[in-house]
Amino acid sequence: MSKDHPRILLYILRRDIRLSDNPIFHFASHRTKQTKSSRSPSNSDKRNRDDSLTSEHGDANFTHVLPIYIFSANQIEVSGFLSSPSDQCPYAEARSAVAGVWRTGPHRAKFIAEGVWDLKRRLESLECGSGLEIRVGRVGDVVSDILDWYSKNCDNGDNKAEITGICMTGDDGTEEKDDENIVKDIAEKHNVDFEVWEDEKFYVDDRDLPYENISELPNVYTTYRKSLEPLRDRPRNPLPTPTQLPPLPPVVPPQTGPFTVPTNFNELKKRLLAPLEKDPTFTLTHPPQWPTDVKSAHPFDGGETVGRDRIAHLIRSGAMSSYKATRNGMLGLDFSTKLSAFLAQGHITARQVHWAMVDFEEGRGDGKDLAGYGKGENEGTAAVRFELLWRDYMRLCMQKFGHRMFSLYGIQDKRGKDDQQNCRKPWRTLHKTKRAGEDPEKALEIFMRFRSGRTGVGLIDASNRELFVTGYTSNRARQNVASFLSSHLNIDWRVGAEWYECFLTDYDTASNWGNWQYVAGVGNDPRQGRIFNPVKQALDYDPQGDYIKAWVPELRGIKLTRTIGPGREEVDQQRLMYLYQVWKLSDWEKTNLGLKGLEWVEQPLTKIQFSVGRARGGHGDGKSKRGGGGGGSWRGRGRGQERNFRRMGNEDRVARSEEGPTIVSSERV
Ligand SMILES: Cc1cc2nc3c(=O)[nH]c(=O)nc-3n(C[C@H](O)[C@H](O)[C@H](O)COP(=O)(O)OP(=O)(O)OC[C@H]3O[C@@H](n4cnc5c(N)ncnc54)[C@H](O)[C@@H]3O)c2cc1C
């Protein structure tokens, strides 16, 4: 066989859809440079050579790189790619295990497609013959088909093209690990090298963690964080963006039947969305509608190009530096970074975010006129780093606990003794169990109202409606929603996690399931059993009612102010209570506002006991010390449990003394 025959490295892209700071592309580009320089004896300067790469990853034996992205049939519905309507899809529908909802809903499907297309464009624009191939199917099937095709169709004697290596970046999801093992077996069968690379998209590189073994990962975030402080010193340098890569192979196998992959973006998107659009209501009798005058907090297209622009915008606008003060917001583009979806798909890396902040902190690049430029780490940039570390931590928990991340009883999984003593929470499930008093139909109905944004609790409904139409809802809202489903309604929290998996643009296996467990009280919250009171939380974080009114337009007619002098109005906390729980309105007002008789208004899923007293003076300027609306004290009534509500991930950072003891009591209807 000729030594010049095409030898192909098959690179299976996963959540590393970017050209910059990408270890595999960096390595491949490095090989191109090496090959070129070894051909030219005069160009023997090895100063720029990255020896760690070559020693770590061996002497690569490839002349071509075939980057391939697979829409994985178990995670995203692929029946829209069938070549003909009469074809039968060989895969089961990509639905969730417990609630049976689509694994990937329309917002993320679109975002992923945009990211993949952006990378394809970037690779093609290098003008070195590189590109990206898109396939659909189960990962193992696609890889097998490609290897078989090269064995069968390219056997031209000396010029035979062959796959000499397969690589992918590691992923800690359980399904992703299964895929890695399947591809490893296929590679072995074909006698092809296989390598799983460290994905370098996390804040702290795995190789720099102070643990020998993942079992040593502390079960409490704070302990983990302290082991890594000072956080600013931790990230490695990002890898440079390749300017040249080995070309695509001269011949590339086609997508195997019964599927066809379109060659233009609009058609690709159409095919992905087609099965989801067959039922745009997602089985809801009252699907949320987009209020015409409200803008999405997350209007971003997917892809490395937009993601990197977003980082630059956050620096240039000062949003990164003001992050600590604004991060609990719920409306608008810049109250938080909105980087999560780009990070989840690997369109950008956490260390790129870090180094962009370092440039600002050290007075390089954008932001010259902003406060804090060149003055080192500030409260905002430190808080962003803190949150990025949460993301790392959730991912490491996934690595440590594996399947337990998806278990109803969580990573704690208190079986045995506790089980016998019936200490486990009696979750309401959507399916029949042997437990007495189960009513799965009722649970299903409750879940339907929850998803529709018709629970009757303003903050929860606003968030769930926002999620449905935009694919995003803030961290503050997510915590309340998760707590509401799992603790106020006692519904199996996994159906909430699955609903989020379907609808979140930024869905990330570890962050989603880890956060749901944490809030549901079965994860690694050291203060087990915290419950968010969505009325008090609304008072603290939506003190003018703007967020609820935006997303629940039926409530916009509720007058929230009272007159405090000639031509002077202030938000009245008593009236805010009607917005937060509309059932509290008088029949007369309900009738006037056209709300009378609506199920979610008259029969909320739960009534939360919470009231506010009249102002004791001193707050007549309309600003409470919580930064919100009118003054006045609040009072919870109930069973006498006292809880402090603090933001997850925040417990050791700010002592929120202004958040006094809160009593949660709710009466399920
Ligand atoms: C029930 C629930 C489900 C969630 N599901 C997801 C999910 O599927 N994907 C996801 O990325 N985040 C998830 N989060 C975490 C958090 O809500 C989002 O990361 C954040 O709201 C995204 O907006 P942002 O990028 O503006 O965040 P910012 O507030 O700007 O934070 C900066 C970055 O830090 C990371 N981050 C912040 N908070 C967390 C956290 N609690 N856990 C892990 N990483 C964090 C994210 O990467 C985020 O982009 C969930 C939180 C809850 C309570």
Quick one: pLDDT at residue 530? Answer: 86
Tell me which residue of 6, 29, 227 sits closest to 123, measured CA to CA.
29
Longest dimension (CA), the chain: 94
Quick one: pLDDT at residue 423? Answer: 55
Judge whether residue 38 has pLDDT over 60.
no
Q: Which residue has the higher pLDDT, 606 or 644?
A: 606
58: exposed, middle or buried (Cβ count in 10 Å: 0-12, 13-18, 19+): exposed
Quick one: pLDDT at residue 46? Answer: 32
The band of 191, judged by pLDDT with boundaries at 50, 70 and 90, is: very high
Q: Which atom belonging to ligand 1 lies closest to the Cα atom of 474?
A: 21
Quick one: pLDDT at residue 655? Answer: 25
Q: What is the mean pLDDT of residues 131-139?
A: 98
Write out pLDDT tens, residues 582-599. Answer: 999 999 999 999 999 999
> Which protein residues are within 6 Å of ligand 1, measured from CB?
327, 336-340, 343-344, 384, 387-388, 390-391, 394, 474-475, 478-479, 482, 500, 504, 506-508, 511-512, 515-516, 519, 648-649
Least confident of 27-41, 127-141, 564-578: 27-41
Q: What is the mean pLDDT of residues 608-616?
A: 74
- Measured by CA distance, the residue closest to atom 23 of ligand 1 is 338
Q: Cβ distance 456 to 581 under 8 Å?
A: yes
Judge whether residue 405 has pLDDT over 90.
yes
> Cα 414 from chain centroid?
28
Quick one: pLDDT at residue 33? Answer: 63
Q: Cβ distance 425 to 490 under 8 Å?
A: yes
Say how far apart CA 461 and CA 245 lie, in whole Å.
49
Least confident of 206-220, 295-309, 610-624: 610-624
- Measured by CA distance, the residue closest to atom 38 of ligand 1 is 387
Judge whether residue 618 has pLDDT over 60.
no
Write out pLDDT tens, residues 347-370. Answer: 999 999 999 999 999 999 999 999
- Which span out of 40-44, 56-60, 115-119 was modeled with the highest average pLDDT? 115-119
- Measured by CA distance, the residue closest to atom 24 of ligand 1 is 338
Q: Which atom belonging to ligand 1 lies closest to the Cα atom of 501?
A: 8
Quick one: pLDDT at residue 635? Answer: 47
Of 296, 357, 387, 450, the one to substitute when testing ligand 1's pocket (max ligand atoms within 8 A of C-beta) is 387
What is residue 201's DSSP assignment? -
Quick one: pLDDT at residue 614? Answer: 58
Judge whether residue 566 has pLDDT over 80.
yes
The band of 563, judged by pLDDT with boundaries at 50, 70 and 90, is: very high
Distance 56 CA to ligand 1 centre (A): 33
DSSP-derived 3-state class of residue 275: helix
The band of 665, judged by pLDDT with boundaries at 50, 70 and 90, is: very low
Say how far apart CA 655 and CA 650 lie, in whole Å.
9
Judge whether residue 659 has pLDDT over 70.
no
Show Cβ contacts of residue 253 under 8 Å, excluding neighbours closer than 6 positions.
145, 146, 149, 150, 153
Distance 512 CA to ligand 1 centre (A): 8
AA identity, residue 343: L
Distance 487 CA to ligand 1 centre (A): 21
Q: What is the mean pLDDT of residues 11-33?
A: 93
Question: What domains can you pick out in the chain, each with its CATH number?
Answer: 7-199+239-277 (3.40.50.620), 405-520 (1.10.579.10), 534-668 (no CATH)
Show Cβ contacts of residue 427 under 8 Å, excluding neighbours closer than 6 positions.
408, 490, 491, 492, 493
210: exposed, middle or buried (Cβ count in 10 Å: 0-12, 13-18, 19+): exposed
- Using CA atoms, how far residue 337 sits from 295, 297, 300, in Å, is 17, 11, 12
Judge whether residue 639 has pLDDT over 70.
no
- Measured by CA distance, the residue closest to atom 30 of ligand 1 is 337
Distance 40 CA to ligand 1 centre (A): 49
Q: What is the mean pLDDT of residues 477-484?
A: 98
Judge whether residue 413 has pLDDT over 80.
no
Q: Report the chain's mean pLDDT, rounded to a whole number.
A: 87
Q: Which atom belonging to ligand 1 lies closest to the Cα atom of 323?
A: 30
- Reading the block at residue 395, the tokens are 């991912």
- Measured by CA distance, the residue closest to atom 49 of ligand 1 is 340
Judge whether residue 523 has pLDDT over 90.
yes
Quick one: pLDDT at residue 57? Answer: 57
Angle at the Cα of 130 (from 127 to 135), degrees rounded to 5?
Answer: 140
Tell me which residue of 229, 273, 225, 603 sits closest to 392, measured CA to CA.
225
- Measured by CA distance, the residue closest to atom 37 of ligand 1 is 387
Quick one: pLDDT at residue 156? Answer: 55
Q: What is the mean pLDDT of residues 226-251?
A: 96
Of 306, 509, 515, the one to substitute when testing ligand 1's pocket (max ligand atoms within 8 A of C-beta) is 515
The band of 524, judged by pLDDT with boundaries at 50, 70 and 90, is: confident
Q: How many CB atoms lie within 10 A of CB 460?
A: 31
Distance 465 CA to ligand 1 centre (A): 19
Q: Cβ distance 169 to 23 under 8 Å?
A: yes
Say how far apart CA 398 and CA 661 lie, in whole Å.
33
DSSP-derived 3-state class of residue 662: strand
Distance 9 CA to ligand 1 centre (A): 35
Judge whether residue 54 has pLDDT over 80.
no
Distance 475 CA to ligand 1 centre (A): 6
- Percentage of the chain exceeding pLDDT 70: 84
Judge whether residue 652 has pLDDT over 60.
no
The binding site for FAD consists of: 323, 336-340, 506-508
Judge whether residue 230 has pLDDT over 50.
yes
Distance 223 CA to ligand 1 centre (A): 20
The binding site consists of: 323, 336-340, 506-508
Residue whose token pair is 């419950």: 531
Q: Which atom belonging to ligand 1 lies closest to the Cα atom of 481?
A: 1
Quick one: pLDDT at residue 540? Answer: 97
Judge whether residue 616 has pLDDT over 80.
no
The band of 48, judged by pLDDT with boundaries at 50, 70 and 90, is: very low
Distance 89 CA to ligand 1 centre (A): 35
- Measured by CA distance, the residue closest to atom 43 of ligand 1 is 391
Q: What is the mean pLDDT of residues 594-623?
A: 76
Show Cβ contacts of residue 453 under 8 Å, excluding neighbours closer than 6 positions.
288, 460, 461, 462, 463, 464, 465, 468, 551, 552
Distance 323 CA to ligand 1 centre (A): 14
Q: Which atom belonging to ligand 1 lies closest to the Cα atom of 394?
A: 43
Judge whether residue 50 has pLDDT over 60.
no
Quick one: pLDDT at residue 517? Answer: 96
Quick one: pLDDT at residue 166? Answer: 98
- Measured by CA distance, the residue closest to atom 53 of ligand 1 is 479
Say how far apart CA 546 and CA 68 lie, in whole Å.
45
Quick one: pLDDT at residue 56? Answer: 56
